[in-house]
Amino acid sequence: MQVADHQHVPIDIQTSKLLDWLVDRRHCNLKWQSLVLTIREKINAAIQDMPENQEIAQLLSGSYIHYFHCLRIVDLLKGTEASTKNIFGRYSSQRMKDWQEIVALYEKDNTYLVELSSLLVRNVNYEIPSLKKQIAKCQQLQQEYSRKEEEGQAGAAEMREQFYQSCKQYGITGDNVRRELLALVQDLPSQLADIGSGAQSLEEAIDLYQACVDFVCESPAEQVLPMLRFVQKRGNSTVYEWRTGTEPSVVERPHLEAPPEQVEEDAIDWGDFGTEATSEGIDYSISADAAGIDWGISLDLDSKEAGSDRIDSADEAAALQITVLEAGTEVPEGVARGSDALTLLEYPETRNQFIDELMELEIFLSQRAVEMSEEADILSVSQFQLAPAILQGQTKGKMVTMVSVLQDLIGRLTNLRMQHLFMILASPRYVDRVTEFLQQKLKQSQLLALKKELMIQKQQEALQEQAALEPKLDLLLEKTKELQKLIEADISKRYNGRPVNLMGTSL
């Protein structure tokens, strides 16, 4: 009864120690590897001359040929080489002799068993984990590429939106930035004329401010807001008319030539966007001292512009100055030339004075509106009893209306779009800076879109690699399970059919 129970006790063998277990129990020779090398050489020589048989071809294609494959080949050769069998049961065919010799070498010292065990251990410890790791790496890459694809798509959309928002601030569509900016400058005089016309409605506000100053000072005061009063009466006239008080008979406006348009190349330079483009040491043979001409360009200013990665207005005061050089001849009377030929709102000095006086008037009217909204006390009532009728007849509503008109004029003159137009008017080279600034955003958007397409391509490559590895893993798992069953069955025969379990395979 105890012997019968012992027959059913399983033999558990740790797969990682299977080779040591076989050697320790003398199932195989310690120097089995040298014999396996001899067998492999004979197998490689024998497969060079094989009969036409579909099953033999399947056994020899793409898989490691081991002992049980050799047994099957011998069985198949018994059918194909039957004509070479003699009366003693032996075969005269060299093919059969070669494979029978291979089988005999395998069975010597149970070499086949240790070779199968070596294959199993290698598959379990190295081949299968390696394929699983490669597949996991492919899946991780797909997730990473998918994330980068979304980031590239979002970044490209964001940069494109920034480009169109910047174009909207400039008042252009962005189809051709440079031409559109130059076209806006051509419309600037008409816009400034409209602003000058809008100042004509400020007569009552100016008179109100003048009356208040005269009343508070109790003495004849100088005329307030001279520039605003002049524009209110004569519109956006020339600087000459403001300076002399007479309208010029001839106006010779300074001719500002636009810089030549840069030729765009078909290929997009996908270099680092943070670096400034520099000339490759090209000598354009242009001398600043040629013919003794003062071009009015400061080298210090140029160096600041070249070192700046953004468009700013730090040098706006210097950039907006249009210097008219004396040609050595006196300007005839009645001729407006140089800065005198510019309008009051084009010339920086007079424009700044005009804006200052608009703000001065706006602050006065806003304060009056606040005072009128508060409850009148005895002091304020007594102060304005002797005030002119124009001061006593005002209401808070009229004050607010006049303030809104002033704020509209100030906003039209000081908005970002108008500031850039004044910069372009003063220095046409500024167009190239704005164009480059906007094109940077568009190029970054294109680069991110290209990165997105690259991530899609890499994601597909990782998916294809995973699809190629998964069948290999499935086939290797199937072969390894088959090896495990063959080894367990062979060891079980050696121990009178006791069940054998190879532990730690995790298949």
pTM exceeds cut of 0.75: no
Q: How far apart are CA 326 and CA 364, in angstroms?
A: 42
Residue 334 Cα to chain centre, angstroms: 59
pLDDT at 31: 85
* Closest to 72 (Cα-Cα) out of 60, 89, 86: 60
* Closest to 315 (Cα-Cα) out of 305, 323, 324: 305
As given in the structure block, the two tokens for residue 45 are: 């020589």
- Residue labelled with tokens 């069998």: 85
What is each CA distance from 253 to 197, 338, 339, 420, in whole angstroms?
21, 6, 8, 21
Strand residues in 360-399 grouped as ranges (E): none
Instruction: Give the list of residues 6+ apart from residue 458 with CB closer than 8 angstroms, or none.
Output: 141, 145
Residue 94 Cα to chain centre, angstroms: 70
As given in the structure block, the two tokens for residue 440 are: 């940077």
Q: Per-residue pLDDT tens for 35-83?
A: 989 999 998 888 888 877 778 777 777 678 888 888 888 888 887 776 6
pLDDT at 267: 41
pLDDT at 157: 93
The amino acid present at 21, given as its one-letter code, is: W
* Closest to 211 (Cα-Cα) out of 402, 357, 392, 382: 392
Backbone angles phi, psi at 144, to 5 degrees: -65, -45
DSSP 8-state secondary structure symbol assigned to residue 261: P
Residue 380 Cα to chain centre, angstroms: 64
As given in the structure block, the two tokens for residue 276 are: 């400034």
Instruction: Give the list of residues 6+ apart from residue 234 with CB closer than 8 angstroms, or none.
Output: 241
Residue 140 exposure: Cα atoms within 13 Å on the Cβ side: 6
Backbone angles phi, psi at 163, to 5 degrees: -60, -50
Radius of gyration of the chain (CA): 48
Q: Show pLDDT as tens, one digit a residue, over the chain (507 residues).
A: 455 566 778 888 898 898 889 988 888 888 888 898 999 999 888 888 887 777 877 777 767 888 888 888 888 888 777 667 766 567 777 888 888 899 999 988 889 999 999 999 999 999 999 999 999 999 999 999 999 999 999 999 999 999 999 888 888 888 888 888 888 888 888 889 899 898 889 998 998 888 888 877 766 667 889 999 999 998 888 988 888 888 888 888 776 555 555 544 444 444 444 443 333 443 433 333 433 334 343 434 343 333 334 444 444 444 444 444 444 446 677 788 888 888 999 899 999 999 999 999 999 999 888 877 765 555 555 566 666 777 777 788 888 999 999 999 999 999 888 888 888 888 878 888 888 988 999 999 999 999 999 999 999 999 999 999 999 999 999 999 999 999 999 999 988 888 999 988 876
pLDDT at 134: 95
